[in-house]
Amino acid sequence: MGQVQRFQVLLAGVFSQIICVGIARFSYTPLLPVMQEQSWLGDIDGGWLAAVNYGGYMAGALLAASLSDLKVKDTLYRAGLILAVVTTVAMGLTENFWLWAILRFFSGLSSAGSMLIASGLILNWLIRHGHRSELGIHFAGVGLGIIVAALLCELMMQLGLNWQEQWYWFAILAAILAVPAWRWLPRPGVVSATSASTLTLQDSPPTRKFMWLMMMAYFCAGYGYVISATFIVTIVERIPQLTGMGALVFAVVGLSAVPAVMNWDLIARRLGYLNALLLAYGLQIAGIILPTFFQSLEVALFSALLFGGTFIGCVSLVLTMAGRLYPSKPTKLMGKMTLSYGAAQMIAPALTGIIAERTGHYDIGLWLAGGFVAIGFLLLVALKLTDPTAQALDDSGKAQPQPA
């Protein structure tokens, strides 16, 4: 029964990721070129809407960082599921920029519920019930959500549905998946007690240097991630020989992200968390800048493979480190880390949209993104070489016990 419940808890997290991240957040990526073609939306406005969405995510991170009551977190997690469905359907009901901005803000807020609050609830449940404290399966829902967004958008395009009807069908799917996401995550204080639930969770506060360097490095990762995550379909669709291939490339991002989170858990066990993170940053730099050199379908797909295989790995590794440092209240440090990640995501899309509108292409935006990730790589190297918290995390990751 314990393993069955563990599977249900993890699956609830997966479904919440598909709803709140894959649909409420990432469906905007394949729908952006469709909306630009069928409505008045331009590059600058599209970039601002993405920035507002990440602003909502950042507000959710602030909220998550300020909470310690598990029951309050559980209530907000469930509110996030409802919010994701409502904001998705409402996107098709208007063409007013300011209403769109409000909806994108609250959809971003809902995504924080599945990324941070659900992550904290699930990690806490796993630790207290004697299971391995890894979130790889939970974060696989992000990749699955991207696949769902890409393939469903392509299917609806083939059926001749306009951008408004596509938002409605995304909302219907989100409402269906919300049922198991709601029911299978146990409410705090209601789950049956086990011997593991009496474990004393010892926090290991990091050094001040670790906090600052890690938050700056994570800011750089956020800048690099958001450009491809927001504009990859639009970038591909604007290459004449790749027109119509955007959804396929975006689906490859999701396909590579699904096993990536579990792969990075395995890599971290062998190499340690910082070494795994350095490897992920290096591969992500290549994935971001490759399309500026070559404009073939093969390169676009390889770039998508590298990007999808690393971006969610960076998130999972950093948030798992936060959970290891503060197992009694993991969401607090997760929220602080995500503030730096989210700050970059507010700046980057708006800036990239402005550059793209004025230059007619996204190459400069991609080089800026790759440059920021390279700076983050160097910050991680400095952290690894000089900080005892980083060294201890690497050792604990490689020597982690094997609970049932």
Query: What span, in angstroms and rounded, lies between the C-alpha atoms of 253 and 67?
Result: 33
Residue with the larger pLDDT of the pair 328 and 370: 370
Report whether 68 contacts 332 (CB < 8 A). yes
Kindly state the average pLDDT of the residues 329-351.
77
Confidence category of residue 394, pLDDT binned at 50, 70, 90? low
Report pLDDT for 173. 96
Q: Is the pLDDT of residue 285 over 90?
A: yes
Query: What span, in angstroms and rounded, lies between the C-alpha atoms of 29 and 272?
Result: 33
Q: Is the pLDDT of residue 363 over 50?
A: yes
**Ramachandran area for residue 161 (φ above 0: left; ψ -120 to 50: alpha; else beta):** beta
**Ramachandran area for residue 360 (φ above 0: left; ψ -120 to 50: alpha; else beta):** left
Tokens at residue 359, please?
């230059």
Residue type at 271 in one-letter notation? L
Report pLDDT for 395. 63
Q: Is the pLDDT of residue 396 over 70?
A: no
Confidence category of residue 25, pLDDT binned at 50, 70, 90? confident
For the chain, the structural domain boundaries read 2-185+202-398
Q: What is the 3-state secondary structure (H, E, C) of the chain?
A: CHHHHHHHHHHHHHHHHHHHHHHCCCCHHHHHHHHHHHCCCCHHHHHHHHHHHHHHHHHHHHHHHHCCCHHHHHHHHHHHHHHHHHHHHHHCCCCCHHHHHHHHHHHHHHHHHHHHHHHHHHHHHHHHCCCCCCCHHHHHHHHHHHHHHHHHHHHHHHCCCCHHHHHHHHHHHHHHHHHHHHHCCCCCCCCCCCHHHHCCCCCCCCCHHHHHHHHHHHHHHHHHHHHHHHHHHHHHHCCHHHCCCHHHHHHHHHHHHHHHHHHHHHHHHHHCHHHHHHHHHHHHHHHHHHHHHCCCHHHHHHHHHHHHHHHHHHHHHHHHHHHHHCCCCHHHHHHHHHHHHHHHHHHHHHHHHHHHHHHCCCHHHHHHHHHHHHHHHHHHHHHHHHCHHHHHHHHHHHCCCCCC
> For residue range 3-12, what is the model confidence (pLDDT) as tens digits?
788 888 889 9
> For residue range 219-268, what is the model confidence (pLDDT) as tens digits?
999 998 888 888 888 888 888 888 888 888 989 999 998 888 788 888 98
Phi/psi at 198 (5° precision): -90, 5
Query: What span, in angstroms and rounded, lies between the C-alpha atoms of 287 and 291?
Result: 8
Q: Is the pLDDT of residue 113 over 80?
A: no
Cα dihedral 250, 12, 198, 120 sign: positive
Query: What span, in angstroms and rounded, lies between the C-alpha atoms of 280 and 284?
Result: 6
Report pLDDT for 330. 62
Whole-prediction pTM value?
0.79
Q: Is the pLDDT of residue 191 over 80?
A: no
Q: Which CATH class is domain 2-185+202-398?
A: mainly alpha
Tokens at residue 16, please?
């919440």
Tokens at residue 228, please?
């491809």
Tokens at residue 371, please?
């440059």
Residue type at 335 in one-letter notation? G
Kindly state the average pLDDT of the residues 27-46.
89
Query: What span, in angstroms and rounded, lies between the C-alpha atoms of 73 and 65?
Result: 11
Report pLDDT for 183. 92
Half-sphere exposure of residue 255: CA atoms within 13 angstroms, side-chain side = 13
Report pLDDT for 323. 74
Q: Which of 48-52, 104-108, 225-229, 319-323 has the lowest mean pLDDT?
A: 319-323
Report whether 249 contacts 301 (CB < 8 A). yes
Tokens at residue 181, please?
């996401």
Phi/psi at 192 (5° precision): -70, 140
Q: Is the pLDDT of residue 401 over 70?
A: no
Kindly state the average pLDDT of the residues 354-367.
86
Report pLDDT for 78. 93
Confidence category of residue 345, pLDDT binned at 50, 70, 90? confident
Confidence category of residue 360, pLDDT binned at 50, 70, 90? confident
> For residue range 121-174, what is the model confidence (pLDDT) as tens digits?
887 788 777 777 666 677 788 888 889 998 998 899 889 999 999 999 999 999
Mean residue pLDDT of the chain comes to 84
